[in-house]
Amino acid sequence: MTTLASESPTPDGAAAEVLRRHAEDAFAAELAALAAQDDRPRPERWRLSPWAVATYLLGGELPDGTVISPKYIGPRRVVEVAVTTLATDRALLLLGVPGTAKTWVSEHLAAAISGDSTLLVQGTAGTPEEAVRYGWNYAQLLAQGPSRDALVPSPVMRAMADGKIARVEELTRIPADVQDSLITILSEKTLPIPELGAETQAVRGFNLIATANDRDRGVNDLSSALRRRFNTVVLPLPGSLEEEVDIVTRRVNQLGRSLDLPELPGGAEEIRRVVTVFRELRDGITADGRTKVKTPSGTLSTAEAISVVTNGLALAAHFGDGVLRAADVTTGIAGAVVRDPVADQAVWREYVEGVIRERDGWKDFYRAAREHSR
């Protein structure tokens, strides 16, 4: 369940040079159409009502015939719970394996609610406390001492002051002591500034969306105190082959347009085969339920399938005959599967020889895959 829809046309000028536009810019027309026809109650400082926010993410048709493209394909209830959480005083934690569209959903929720998805803290092992709270302009600090002018607000602090949605990506990658600096913000809705004997209080409209990968290794688990401040929503993997094929197709088409890649013949068939391989290796059993297969160490997420197909399109367009073929995607599949050069290579070789080789209509795929299983 990744993302899915086509972006609105890029205007002329500098914006045309941007490789990836923010959600509030790329889908500005849809957001404006929803706002114009949204007559439902809106929480204070929300651009749209909760119903309209959910419609923006899930897609639909408005009374005037405007079509809202789906940004997320998955259970409607998941989106409704996420949106409702942000309308309360509870922060939202989007949890799931890699490739389940956590970042994408986070960005679009912030865009629809606040009209600004850029108040972002990117979590890493080196994220300092200043990224969550505030820092200082040291030139001014040395010259004038602590003052409001010398203070550099974090994205979270700015969101509190403006009544907007802040985003924290990969929360569990942030050191535990830095994570816990969110506790006061989320429970008391205030950020103390002891150096100035002051504080920044959150105004209505403020909330926070965090994302976390529940299969990462070497991460920092959330303290029970911090976890209690969040309402956790788990984003599942696509429930069916057709759903995942739809997701991959939409996202690949969107990326292809942004990268000026042509739409190539053969794309639908190869996307289906890539998704089939990923799902079977991920689930440990073939689609017909007859053959068990070993699972590799990687996650084989929907996001990785999108990357494999997009790279295949580029290969076919620039170095192939203009038709997306098995040979264009099998290199990427092998790279996604074989993370451990010994164990995963054996898994991939066994799958190629035991499953793909016997599958009707997959002879070209088998020949190409065999080249990358040696």
pLDDT tens-place string over residues 232-254:
999 998 889 999 999 999 889 88
pLDDT tens-place string over residues 72-121:
988 999 999 999 999 999 999 999 888 888 999 999 999 999 999 999 99
Phi and psi based region of residue 13 (left: phi greater than 0; alpha: psi -120 to 50; beta: remaining):
left
Query: Whole-number mean pLDDT of the chain?
Result: 90
Burial pattern 284-295, b for ≥16 Cβ within 10 A else e, equals: eebeeeeeebeb
pLDDT above 70 coverage of the chain, percent: 94
Cα-based distances in Å from 255 to 103, 178, 212, 298: 16, 35, 24, 23
Answer whether residue 26 shows pLDDT above 60: yes
Answer whether residue 8 shows pLDDT above 60: no
H/E element, 165: strand 165-169
